Amino acid sequence: MTIPERETWPTLIQMTMTKEPRLTAFGIGVYFGTPREQRKAKFAKDRADMLHEKCIEQFGRACMWLHDKPKTKQITPRAGTSYGLKHCVERWHQKHFEGEAYVSNGMFIAAAIALGFQIRNSGGEERSSPNVFLNITSARRHLDPNYPHW
């Protein structure tokens, strides 16, 4: 798969927001410590943040890392959650580029959806989590060969 062109990133993000209506810059939903009366406003803010420039750039960094990663037929929990994989993107970016390397969990998920990866909530059916599993290879050489704790 090729890396999407920079000018298409906002449109791709909007498409992922439509496909996954609970997706925010934080991940799936809002931080579980958010007081009940603040959740709706926090959700709206975190969702709107996805189209701010800093998040669009995070989406691009994740796309650059994900574009050549092999997909598996089924979702692969062994590869880790979106939260763990986003750290692979950050380490990769720090090694190969200058400047900001941070990628939020939600923007990593958005990039994965845009590039055709399947997602499944890592909390299972009973418990929602901001993190997801992907149908991505768990082969260390593809994900982060320099990470010693894999």
Considering the domain boundaries, does residue 73 fall inside one? yes
What is the residue-level pLDDT of the chain in tens, covering all 150 positions? 789 999 999 999 999 999 999 999 999 988 878 888 998 999 999 999 999 999 999 999 999 999 999 999 999 999 999 999 999 999 999 999 999 999 999 999 999 999 999 999 998 765 679 999 999 998 766 676 565 443
Looking at the 3D structure of the chain, how many domains does it have?
1
Is residue 45 assigned to a domain? yes
C-alpha pair distances (Å), 127 with each of 17, 135, 146:
21, 20, 33
| Within-domain flag for 41 | yes
Report the predicted TM-score, pTM, of the whole model to 2 decimal places: 0.92
**d(C-alpha 68, C-alpha 143), whole Å:** 10
> Residue 60: helix, strand or coil by DSSP?
helix
Domain interval for residue 38: 6-143
CB neighbourhood size of 38 (10 A): 12
150 domain residue, yes or no: no
